[in-house]
Amino acid sequence: MIKSLEEGEWGPGDAIPSEAELAAHFSVSQGTVRKAIDEMAAENLLVRRQGKGTFVATHDDPRSIYRFLRLMPDSGQSEHSVSEPLSCRAMTAPPEVAVALEIQAGDPVIAVERLLRFEGEPVVLDQIYLVGELFSGLTLERLRVSERSLYSLFESDYGVRMIRAEERLRAVSADGHSARLLAVDEGSPLLLVERTAFTYGNKPVEWRRGLYSTRRHHYLNELG
């Protein structure tokens, strides 16, 4: 079934066939199909909707935002976030980026820098690197006019869906560039979140370095 998703047989947001139809299609029992659907739902590949059926998960679902953005306001109140793209350019992959994306140093990548604002306050500065061959034609203007989240844009316009991610966190000090954009003093403590995002087939397609200001926000991860 995962191969069917990867090949686009069912696209993001599409309803998948019934368990009986899938069992006949794959020549397996309905119990096997049900188990596979359970596992894929647990991995956020599929979404069950009571009384409606089972659908391919999509980044257009507002709930998907918080799968990959774990920064929450200390107040506990919901806050509106706005992505502010600052730059977008084609370049050759430096060694560190190439290792993260499992490509060769010098291969084409797209580098994006953007601010994420919460209620107008700059909170996250992202440096994002994308596999160039998958995101050909991505420009700063395209990012600025889009009203979608980045992952929703990648899914809808480039057919690349982020399935899972790995993150590494560490404490760093703000340099002059990040301090200016995040409106903090140079040398202020920031949370560095390095994320590698994978699409189907466990293929890394995005590597980003996010600098998080934690003046009024914290990183939340639910365990168990």
Span 106-130, pLDDT tens digits: 999 999 999 999 999 999 999 999 9
- Residue % of the chain over a pLDDT of 70: 95
Q: Are the beta carbons of 59 and 165 closer than 8 angstroms?
A: no
Residue 60 CB neighbour total at 10 angstroms: 14
Please name the residue ranges forming H helices in 48-149.
65-68, 95-101, 140-145
Smallest CA-to-CA distance from 163 within 96, 70, 64, 49 is with: 64
Candidates 1.10.10.10, 3.30.390.50, 3.90.1150.10, 3.30.70.2740; CATH matching 2-56: 1.10.10.10
Q: Could you tell me whether strands 108-118 and 189-199 are parallel, antiparallel, or unpaired per DSSP bridges?
A: unpaired
pTM across the whole model = 0.85
Locate 28 and state its tokens: 């397996």
Q: Is residue 1's pLDDT more than 70?
A: no
Angle at the Cα of 40 (from 35 to 43), degrees rounded to 5? 130
Question: What CATH fold (topology level) applies to the domain 67-219?
Answer: Chorismate lyase (3.40.1410)
Span 163-172, pLDDT tens digits: 999 999 999 9
> Which one-letter amino acid corresponds to residue 27?
S
Segments making up each domain of the chain, as ranges: 2-56, 67-219
Q: Could you tell me whether strands 71-73 and 203-212 are parallel, antiparallel, or unpaired per DSSP bridges?
A: unpaired
